[in-house]
Structure 1
Amino acid sequence: MAGAETARRIDQASRVIKATPEALYRAFLDPQSWLVWLPPAGMTAAIERFEPWQGGRYRLVLTYEGAGHTPGKASEHSDVVEARFLELVPNMRVVHRVEFPSDDPAFAGAMRMTWSLAPVPGGTEVTIACEDVPAGISPEDHAVGLASTLANLAALMERGLARRF
């Protein structure tokens, strides 16, 4: 049908983590903790800019370890993330506008990522919702990556490393 809007893609994942919303929120604003929990399995991260305030920007380079991965968005072995913090609600929510610089139009555009924290018995339910996901990002690979990131965050918080936050 001419003029019809295409459906916006939203990928989402959640996990209950044995930590308080306060400790998790602090981990969301600490660049050193990002290096531990944000890269999915098979990747490492380097932070080139990190301004953890509303309107602040960050630039993150995710690099694939070893062979056997899908090509990166910025180069064969890396994804670059250019982002801005849109909203910071202490102990409740962090919203980012994320772009992947790429020559491939399938990765063009901006994705909105919302991390939500909700206290539940036994910890905090952490939910990540990614809106307007570029078509070039495989839904299956994205689901695996989001689950891996949440597992990394749980491991960081539950191993007692959260005490530094």
Structure 2
Amino acid sequence: MPRTDTAFRVIAAPLEHVYAALVDPDALTTWLPPDGMSGRFDRFDARPGGSYRLILTYADASGTPGKATADSDVVEARFVDIVPGVRVVQAVDFVSDDPAYAGTMTMTWEVTAAGAGTRVEIRADDVPDGISAEDHAAGMASSLANLAAHVEKAPKAVK
């Protein structure tokens, strides 16, 4: 059955800094992988119609085997829509032989000003059946916490 998962967080950083972290590959590899994972891009082209291939590697796959290999998930994604300063929409496919992970999930990341900070909302439509709602909620919350830590860092003093 198609499922939609959502999550949001208000981040104490300017909207333009938060949005920039949604489309910068170096920033994404820093904050997007949930706790216990690291990530790297094989390719990355942030424009409508552009795509990326992201390899997420588990630090310890003994509790959660990867979808693509024993210790990794591979994500093939296409940018469906990018509205600078507002929204990034991606069509996401997991590389896996397991039919429970088949199908295209649409991930929408929206940013809106919220007082002195930025509200970031994630909407995942058509989540594959193999991804439990509990695990997905934890992963999205972890990514949002990582994003907050990444963009809320105080600038270093210049000497």
* Matched residues, number: 155
Q: Which amino acid aligns with 2:79?
A: F
1:129 corresponding residue in structure 2: 123
What secondary structure sits across from 2:138 in the alignment? helix
Greater Cα offset, 106-115 or 62-71:
62-71
2:75 corresponding residue in structure 1: 81
Deviation, 1:152, is 0.2
Deviation, 1:68, is 3.5
TM-score (norm 2): 0.94
Deviation, 1:122, is 2.9
What secondary structure sits across from 1:35 in the alignment? helix
Matching of residues 16-165 of structure 1 within 5 Å: 16-160=10-154
TM-score (norm 1): 0.91
What secondary structure sits across from 2:78 in the alignment? strand
Deviation, 1:78, is 0.4
Q: Which amino acid aligns with 1:94?
A: V
C-alpha separation in 2, matches of 1:98 and 1:111: 5
What secondary structure sits across from 2:122 in the alignment? strand
C-alpha separation in 1, matches of 2:140 and 2:21: 17
Greater Cα offset, 58-67 or 147-156:
58-67
Deviation, 1:62, is 0.2
Structure 1 residues 67 and 103, CA, compared in 2 at 3 Å: closer, same or farther? closer
- Percent of aligned pairs with the same residue? 54
